[in-house]
Chain A
Amino acid sequence: MNNLFEIRDLSVLFQIKNGFLKRPQSLRAVHNVSFDIKRKSVVGLVGESGSGKTTTGKAILRLIEPTKGRLLLNGKDIMHKDYDIKKLRKENQIIFQDPLSSLNPQKTILQSLETPMIIHGVGSDGQQRREVIQETLESVGLRGEILNRYPHEFSGGQLQRICIARTLVLKPSFIVCDEAIASLDVSIQSQIINLFKKLQDGYNLTYLFISHNIAVLKYLCDEIGVMYLGEIVEFAPTERLFANAQHPYTKALLSVIPEPNPAGERAKETGQELKGEIPSPINPPPGCAFSTRCPYVFDRCKVEAPQTTTYDQQHRVACHLIAQD
């Protein structure tokens, strides 16, 4: 079996209460998302804020209960009532954007790292757990002597290393990285990116990497899904996506990435960037979600949502322009 995760028609709706007498509205955070995560691969999700990429990442781990859909981990349905949720938590981990707020400020690093091990019964006694922790801290580039210090004593980059170590002590097979490098300084970002890359080989990890930084995703990921208003509008192997993007939103997204190259930046055509903003997920537009901003919009887009079509092998696009050909 090649796929670690199979995600089928995943939808997440949130109920928004607007007040005592008003009827609750539903917010469509994730809508019919399907993709596979191959074992030992890195899948990236990219999109604007509000596109549902974080919700997708959390719903896959059942940190947010999906409203609809099937989630298969190693072929087993993790939504099934008999599935051992504790085992799911142990083998599948998540790293958040802000490391300082994901560590308890009143607990020492040792306590923060030991707690998940105690909960999941890793290591027989304190001595053995300490050894695992020491070893893991070294593999993320920290020294063991920090164990009795508190989170506020560390810089952002060190804290993110600690958070990574906390997931690794459980020997997970899958980690969701939710904007895990976005809050770090430039000179630290590349250190952490390299660390993710090294750990993948060392620990046989599979990642779901959520980011708005497309250049980082291009460097790290094997496959990338582009999300817009809760839907995956395009999903393709990384090389193919960059060489041959099909969806108008992907094209627009790729065209606005700033590159450290002044001549190239000046040569970029201005006026190509997207107009307007992402619509509200409470009242998504009928038809294609992107139709309100799409430069190629035609009548059909405004009434009928495009089906996901396989453009060529492994490359899926949801756009009427592609479906027509």
Chain B
Amino acid sequence: MQLSENTGAAPSPEPKAYRLRLYVAGKTPKSILAFTNLKQICEEHLQGRYEIEIIDLLENPQLAQGDQILALPTLVRRLPEPIKKIIGDLSNKERVLVGLDLQERR
């Protein structure tokens, strides 16, 4: 599994509408599952309009405070605003879509 997808400085011709950040702590089964689920959902619903940044808190623990990360994995939608947080392995696709404002809450 690749834990880097469009991370950091790679200049994109136009800014992506959806900037997502996935916080994990090492390559645990939960974090791998979360990434797989996220990738799949994005490809299905946001093709070409998203970028995913993976932050491994084991390497960068100082980043946890800024986004108020507590539970892991946590997906943070940094753009579009407002910031949204979705915690868990993202296996409930419907709730992920609701969390990303891609689907009405039923």
- A and B assemble together: no
B binding-site residues for A, Cβ under 8 Å: none
